[in-house]
Amino acid sequence: MPALGSLFSLASLMLICWVHVCFPVCVEVPSETEAVQGKHMKLRCISCMKREEVTASTVVEWFYRPEGGKDFLIYEFRNGNREVESPFQGRLQWNGSKDLQDVSLTVLNVTLNDSGIYTCNVSREFEFDSHRPFVKTTRLIPLKVTEEAGEDFTSVVSEIMMYILLVFLTLWLLIEMIYCYRKVSKAEEAAQENASDYLAIPSENKENSAVPVEE
Ligand SMILES: *[C@@H]1O[C@H](CO)[C@@H](O)[C@H](O)[C@H]1NC(C)=O
Ligand SMILES: *[C@@H]1O[C@H](CO)[C@@H](O)[C@H](O)[C@H]1NC(C)=O
Ligand SMILES: *[C@@H]1O[C@H](CO)[C@@H](O)[C@H](O)[C@H]1NC(C)=O
Ligand SMILES: *[C@@H]1O[C@H](CO)[C@@H](O)[C@H](O)[C@H]1NC(C)=O
């Protein structure tokens, strides 16, 4: 029976692995919102589909809105990728996945002028027999471009906190060890005293009780 049980759990583990390999799990991870001038910036846009939705036709539109300005189209994906005329022309690279759940766009050589709000609009039309539902998802990415990759203040703080915690834990462990050691050695001393007391009594008892048994 245990063999059967482990075989079963192995089989289910293999099934889970197989499912993961065949149908990668789609997670709608939000995009980074900070870019460094001169570097590439991946504007991540993920729109997961349910299993039954795989027969959809997908249209993706990417918009850009400068500060205090209006949205304008910078990229379109409709049966293939198409860059539209915009100040971004020549600097945009399609970075989506084949199944069009990931429809990310990469901006090459980011400039300070690229700060603003990017919108990713995904429209899907599903081709079922009886009906053709239409689904739209929208993601806003407020992008801030900085001149240099300054060290993130919060990450510095958390790093310092980590070191403080580490030192504190080490000290605490040390104190605890010393305390334990003292307690153990004290207990040992006490035990030794007790043991000699304990040994002293039965030896008398033994002599007393030993006499009547023989005969
Ligand atoms: C996305 O872009 C990065 C860097 O430009 C590249 O390494 C990666 O292979 C691209 N991924 C896809 C799916 O095109
Ligand atoms: C990035 O842009 C700057 C100015 O716009 C240009 O001088 C530089 O050559 C560009 N770098 C790349 C890798 O395209
Ligand atoms: C940035 O934008 C300003 C005004 O919108 C323009 O004058 C300037 O030439 C732009 N710089 C670059 C590097 O595109
Ligand atoms: C994206 O789609 C939403 C929903 O249909 C719409 O309200 C919004 O105006 C679209 N965004 C742009 C920039 O067109």
Q: Which atom of ligand 2 is nearest to the CA of 108?
A: 14
Q: Are 119 and 60 in contact (CB under 8 A)?
A: no
Which residues does a 6 A CB cutoff place in the pocket of ligand 4? 63, 71, 119, 121, 136, 138
Paired tokens of 162: 């980590």
Q: Are residues 62 and 143 in the same domain?
A: yes
Ligand 2 centroid–CA 90 distance in Å is 12
The answer to the question of residue 199 being in a domain is no
Ligand 2 and 109: CB distance under 6 A: yes
Q: What is the pLDDT of residues 136-195, one digit of tens each?
A: 999 999 999 988 876 667 778 888 999 999 999 999 999 999 998 998 888 888 888 776
The verdict on 130 and 47 lying in the same domain is yes
Residue 156, in any domain of the structure: yes
Residues 32 and 112 in one domain: yes
Domain hosting residue 180, numbered range:
151-189
Q: pLDDT value at position 207?
A: 52
How far apart (Å, rounded) are the C-alpha atoms in residues 35 and 40?
8
Considering the domain architecture, whether residues 56 and 112 belong to the same structural domain is answered as: yes
Average predicted confidence (pLDDT) for the chain: 80
Do 155 and 141 share a structural domain?
A: no
Domain co-membership, 55 together with 79: yes
Indicate whether 71 and 175 sit together in one domain: no
Which amino acid residue places its CA nearest to atom 14 of ligand 1? 95
CATH of the domain at 118: 2.60.40.10
Quote the CA–CA distance of 163 and 194 in Å, as a whole number.
46
Q: How far, in Å, CA of 193 to CA of 143, rounded?
A: 75
Are 173 and 144 members of one domain?
no
| pLDDT > 70: percent of the chain | 76
Let me know whether 122 and 60 are in one domain: yes
Most confident listed range (13-22, 43-52, 188-197): 43-52
Residues 78 and 135 in one domain: yes
Token couple for 95: 């970075």
Pairing relationship of beta strands 116-126 and 56-65 according to DSSP bridges:
antiparallel
| Reported pTM | 0.62
